[in-house]
């Protein structure tokens, strides 16, 4: 671990906050001076029998904070004129329980268990945390030094390990949304971690495909795909001793890149020190290429795919999926009829062309 200390405190409503300090600071001595109401109960999970999927219903999220001015940002350090979610006057990396979570362990007494005979209902037991990458409100992930990226990776690994041990958690999913085009509601550089109470639909599809490939060939699907991409090279954007970044051959998004470790690993805690150090420089290079494509900050989603906690864990292969909805300098890709209603993606840019554009975007 690169962080010198890990300090956990409780906010005034009982939620946990953790400082990951790169220097020997004692931020835990600063109390939360706010008088907050109790956190909301967790969401409901409602089963959709038509497609065998669970949907979370979290009505309390309608009131979550939306685009506050910079002097009232809840992710900035607290100051005399404004007490934020972070009580300390400064920090390096911080994680804390989301005030408006999609999932939590706060179960509402008397929770209904059925809407109709075909639609069972259960509590959305899990965990949602916010990850603040820097105390600088005006910065961005792409502007972080590699040493800070390493601290972020260590913090995500720490939280993945702890959340994976929580009762009812099926998969831990760290991610970052960047840009108003994506739908961010807070401008401060931050990400989130979801501890899902059920295996998400995309992961279920990936597990099924991996199991089918293993039964047919005896091999690991993602390992074989990564080896094929490295051997072909047409869609590779960059690589080092431990990681390769490439555009998937069947990319769904206009600009989509996978960053994968060369070893088959289940999750972030399994990364070695060398692999954690090697990730940051390559990832920052890819982010700079994204911003360089159109000479403006690129909206993106950065999503860590990790192995599930239970059955099928051996089929997982850690990798980061980075993608943008921007398809041209003045055009966005909207998920309209085909994608939203049917889940059938139509990509406007040939993946090999996207890879070349990214390689050229120094």
For 114-167, the pLDDT digits (tens) are: 899 999 999 999 999 999 999 999 999 999 999 999 999 999 999 999 999 999
> Which CATH superfamily hosts domain 5-198?
HIT-like (3.30.428.10)
- Architecture per CATH, domain 202-360, reads as 2-Layer Sandwich (3.30)
Report the Cα–Cα distance between both ends of the chain, in Å, rounded: 31
Cα distances (Å, whole numbers) of residue 58 to 62, 69, 102: 8, 25, 6
> How far is it, in rounded angstroms, from Cα 297 to Cα 279?
21
Q: Which residues contact 52 (CB under 8 A, 6 or more apart)?
A: none
Do residues 320 and 275 make contact, with C-beta atoms less than 8 angstroms apart?
A: no
Which of 180, 129, 169 lies closest to 152 in space, CA to CA?
Answer: 129
Give the pTM. Answer: 0.97
Is 202-360 the same fold as 5-198?
Answer: yes
Cα distances (Å, whole numbers) of residue 207 to 204, 308, 350: 5, 9, 26
Q: What is the pLDDT of residue 24?
A: 83
User: Which stretches in the chain have pLDDT values below 50?
Assistant: none
To the query of whether residue 190 is one of the catalytic residues in this protein, the response is yes
Q: What is the pLDDT of residue 108?
A: 85
Q: What is the pLDDT of residue 110?
A: 82
Q: What is the pLDDT of residue 268?
A: 98
Q: What is the pLDDT of residue 112?
A: 83
Domain boundaries of the chain, sorted by first residue: 5-198, 202-360
Tell me the residue length of the chain.
362
Catalytic residue among 188, 190, 242, 305: 190
Q: What is the pLDDT of residue 249?
A: 98
Do residues 197 and 170 make contact, with C-beta atoms less than 8 angstroms apart?
A: yes
Q: What is the pLDDT of residue 26?
A: 86
Q: What is the pLDDT of residue 2?
A: 74
What token pair was written down for 361?
């975007």
> How far is it, in rounded angstroms, from Cα 148 to Cα 333?
32
As to burial, measured by CB atoms within 10 angstroms (0-12 exposed, 13-18 middle, 19+ buried), residue 311 is exposed
DSSP secondary structure string for all residues of 313-358: GGG---EEEEEESEEETTEE----IIIIIH-----SS-HHHHHHHH
Q: What is the pLDDT of residue 195?
A: 98
Angle at 39 between CA 34 and CA 40, to 5 degrees: 145
């Amino acid at each position: 671990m690169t962080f010198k200390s890990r300090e956990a405190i409780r906010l005034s409503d009982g939620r946990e906050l953790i400082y990951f300090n790169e220097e020997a600071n004692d931020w835990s001595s600063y109390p939360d001076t706010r008088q907050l109401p109790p956190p909301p109960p967790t969401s409901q999970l409602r089963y959709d029998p038509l497609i065998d999927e669970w949907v979370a219903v979290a009505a309390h999220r309608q009131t979550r904070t939306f685009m506050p001015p910079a002097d009232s940002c809840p992710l900035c350090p607290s100051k005399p004129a404004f007490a934020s979610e972070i009580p300390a006057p400064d920090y390096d990396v911080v994680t804390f329980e989301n005030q408006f979570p999609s999932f939590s362990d706060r179960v509402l007494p008397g929770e209904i268990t059925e809407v109709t005979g075909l639609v069972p209902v259960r509590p959305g037991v899990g965990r949602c945390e916010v990850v603040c990458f820097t105390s600088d409100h005006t910065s961005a992930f792409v502007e972080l030094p590699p040493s800070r990226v390493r601290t972020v990776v260590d913090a995500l690994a720490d939280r993945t390990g702890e959340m994976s041990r929580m009762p009812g958690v099926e998969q831990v999913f760290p991610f970052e949304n960047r840009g108003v085009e994506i739908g961010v509601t807070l401008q401060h550089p931050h990400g989130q971690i979801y501890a899902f109470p059920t295996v998400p639909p995309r992961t279920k599809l990936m597990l099924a495909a991996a199991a089918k490939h293993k039964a047919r060939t005896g091999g690991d699907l993602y390992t074989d795909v990564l080896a094929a991409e490295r051997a072909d090279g047409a869609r590779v954007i960059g690589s080092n001793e431990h990681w390769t970044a490439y555009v998937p051959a069947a990319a769904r998004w206009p600009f989509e890149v996978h960053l994968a470790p060369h070893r088959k690993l289940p999750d972030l805690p399994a990364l070695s020190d060398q692999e954690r150090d090697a990730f940051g420089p390559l990832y920052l290079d890819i982010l700079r290429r994204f911003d360089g494509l159109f000479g403006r900050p690129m909206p993106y989603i950065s999503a860590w795919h990790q192995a599930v906690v239970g059955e099928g864990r051996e089929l997982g292969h850690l990798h980061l999926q980075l993608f943008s909805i921007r398809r041209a300098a003045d055009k966005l890709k909207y998920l309209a009829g085909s994608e939203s209603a049917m889940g059938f993606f139509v990509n406007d840019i040939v993946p090999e062309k996207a890879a070349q554009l990214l390689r050229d975007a120094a």
